[in-house]
């Protein structure tokens, strides 16, 4: 299913929307407008290779919904990139932003290349050329469309994008806000790197905090001693694992594309990651058992399974063998539609991607705000708060005759750093959205959190379109 051309992520997303719409009273015309991609831009450009030969590269940018502007979404560099995939991911971005109440429309971009086949110089040329094609057609800008990193791209590419944009728009004072996920030196934001993983952690923590839901699954509330399997130890998988482990959960299996590790004693995430960075594989890692065919690991017994790699990892073929009680979709679209029906029939709680991995876009939103205001969060009020707390602590000490020890004193007086404020905003966003979604699921008496998430999202988009009216 994963690699054939007939599969359309976009059609899958539309069918989720149709499922949700059955529980709503929506005008069919409005539903049609919500589902469609508003703008699709496909283009080709040449690059000159080292040996003097040429290659024609395919690029895409899709803006799915203009109910809120700018639109927002990542750029992926991958040979799997095609129009249907970019359309589908762009639609998911729309519903994801609406679901967690971030005021962006959805977009997505892609370049059909295998980034591993190019050196840094060539990737820079491809990225800058891709950006200039977007600029020409006004498909990028702080008020229009704001890209971000995705599969195959990172902070480095975002720095090239912002530099290219500034070269073409020297008078634009908000130019830095044309893209997010930038390095800190280019006015990125503290906490962006770990944002998605942190969001996944918060979402799962909230899910296991609801007593009646856990009772139905035969689990205790809280993360302590929960057994966890994660597929993918990239950025998202790594930070998810790290935070869950710090919260008392036990990561017992990690699967990567070239093998996995199984260890019921619990895996030391940092040490495994260091080994992987050095050896490009888990094979030979001293602890636990190396599993050659890592896809099997997802079928091992655990409390929570977290697919944090690519789409279509749990299909109708392997879904019947999944033993987890909860599945947290950290990746985009890791469970096919047929597979999800099977999982729900087995009473597995599926926490959907459009909610669970929204930490990235949430913190991207904070980065965009930071760039528009051109001041880092906390800079203005930090010292003022510290003085106020210091005065408060002194007053308490004087009134009681007791003294705080230095550690207590420091932790009370500390002003919030940019990272503290980012994490606070991220937590607020994820916590509120989970309970909104779970409540909607219960109100509508449905099993699927995904359908509940789509109902919430579609409702917000519908209100936005209706209030906006149609031009002219």
- Describe the strand order of the beta sheet including 259-262 as a list of residue ranges: 289-291, 259-262, 250-256, 227-231, 304-307, 326-328, 349-351
Which residue is catalytic, options 68, 108, 176, 440? 108
What would the mean pLDDT of 196-223 be, rounded to a whole number?
Answer: 95
Strands 39-48 and 54-63, how do they pair?
antiparallel
Confidence check: pLDDT of 454 > 80? yes
pLDDT value at residue 1: 41
Residue 96 labeled ligand binder: yes
Residues 6+ apart with CB under 8 A from 49: 55, 122
pLDDT value at residue 2: 46
469 pLDDT tier (thresholds 50, 70, 90): confident
Residues 6+ apart with CB under 8 A from 252: 227, 228, 229, 262, 263, 264, 265, 266, 267, 300, 302
- Segment 292-348, tens digit of pLDDT: 888 899 999 999 999 998 888 899 999 999 999 999 999 988 998 899 999 999 999
* Helix (H), strand (E), coil (C) string for 151-172: CCCCHHHHHHHHHHHHHHCCCC
Rounded to whole angstroms, the Cα distance separating 198 from 185 reads: 22
Rounded to whole angstroms, the Cα distance separating 104 from 98 reads: 8
286 pLDDT tier (thresholds 50, 70, 90): confident
Residue 294 labeled ligand binder: no
* Residue that the structure tokens 């607020």 belong to: 428
448 in Cβ contact with 16 (< 8 Å): no
What would the mean pLDDT of 153-181 be, rounded to a whole number?
Answer: 97
Residue 182 labeled ligand binder: no
Strands 304-307 and 289-291, how do they pair?
unpaired
Q: What is the mean pLDDT of the chain?
A: 93
Confidence check: pLDDT of 447 > 60? yes
Query: If you average pLDDT over each of 2-11, 59-68, 289-298, which comes out highest?
Result: 59-68
Residue 364 labeled ligand binder: yes
Rounded to whole angstroms, the Cα distance separating 207 from 216 reads: 13
163 in Cβ contact with 86 (< 8 Å): no
Rounded to whole angstroms, the Cα distance separating 126 from 131 reads: 9
Rounded to whole angstroms, the Cα distance separating 393 from 399 reads: 10
pLDDT-above-70 percentage for the chain: 99
Residue 424 labeled ligand binder: no
- Segment 251-280, tens digit of pLDDT: 999 999 999 999 999 999 999 999 999 998
How many Å is the maximal CA-CA distance in the chain? 81
108 is catalytic: yes
Residues 6+ apart with CB under 8 A from 406: none
């Amino acid at each position: 299913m994963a690699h054939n051309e007939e599969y359309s992520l976009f059609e899958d997303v539309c069918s989720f929307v149709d499922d949700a719409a059955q529980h709503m009273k929506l005008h069919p015309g409005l539903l049609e407008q919500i589902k469609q991609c508003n703008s699709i831009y496909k283009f080709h450009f040449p690059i000159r290779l080292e040996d003097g030969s040429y290659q024609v590269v395919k690029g895409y940018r899709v803006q799915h919904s203009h109910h809120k502007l700018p639109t927002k979404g990542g750029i992926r560099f991958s040979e799997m990139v095609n129009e249907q995939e970019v359309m589908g991911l762009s639609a998911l971005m729309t519903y994801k932003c609406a679901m967690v109440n971030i005021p962006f429309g959805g977009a997505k971009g892609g370049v059909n290349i295998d980034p591993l086949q190019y050196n840094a110089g060539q990737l820079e040329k491809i990225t800058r050329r891709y950006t200039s094609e977007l600029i020409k057609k006004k498909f990028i800008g702080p008020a229009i469309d704001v890209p971000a990193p995705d599969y195959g791209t990172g902070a480095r590419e975002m720095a090239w994008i912002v530099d290219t944009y500034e070269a073409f728009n020297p008078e634009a004072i908000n130019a830095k806000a044309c893209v997010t996920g930038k390095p800190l030196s280019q006015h990125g934001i503290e906490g962006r790197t770990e944002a998605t993983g942190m969001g996944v952690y918060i979402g799962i923590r909230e899910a296991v905090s609801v007593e009646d839901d856990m009772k139905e699954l035969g689990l205790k509330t809280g993360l302590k001693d929960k057994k966890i399997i994660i597929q993918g130890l990239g950025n998202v998988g790594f930070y998810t694992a790290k935070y869950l482990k710090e919260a008392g959960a036990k990561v017992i299996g990690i699967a990567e594309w070239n093998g996995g590790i199984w260890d019921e004693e619990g895996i030391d995430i940092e040490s495994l990651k260091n080994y992987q960075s050095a050896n490009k594989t888990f094979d030979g890692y001293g602890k636990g058992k190396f599993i050659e065919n890592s896809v099997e690991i997802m079928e091992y017994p655990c409390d929570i399974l977290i697919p944090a790699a690519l789409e279509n990892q749990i299909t109708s073929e392997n879904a019947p063998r999944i033993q987890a009680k909860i599945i947290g979709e950290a990746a985009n679209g890791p469970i096919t539609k047929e597979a999800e029906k099977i999982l729900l029939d087995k009473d597995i709680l599926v926490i959907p991607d459009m909610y669970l991995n929204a930490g990235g876009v949430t913190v991207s939103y904070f980065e965009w705000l930071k760039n528009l205001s051109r001041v880092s969060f906390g800079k203005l009020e930090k010292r003022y708060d510290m003085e106020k707390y210091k005065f408060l602590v002194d007053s308490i000490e004087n009134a009681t005759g007791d003294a705080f020890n230095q550690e207590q004193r420091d932790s009370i007086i500390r002003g919030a750093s940019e990272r503290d404020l980012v994490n606070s905003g991220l937590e607020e966003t994820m916590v509120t959205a989970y309970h909104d979604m779970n409540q909607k699921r219960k109100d509508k008496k449905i099993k699927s959190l995904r359908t509940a998430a789509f109902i919430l999202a579609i409702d917000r988009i519908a209100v936005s379109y209706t209030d906006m009216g149609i031009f002219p």
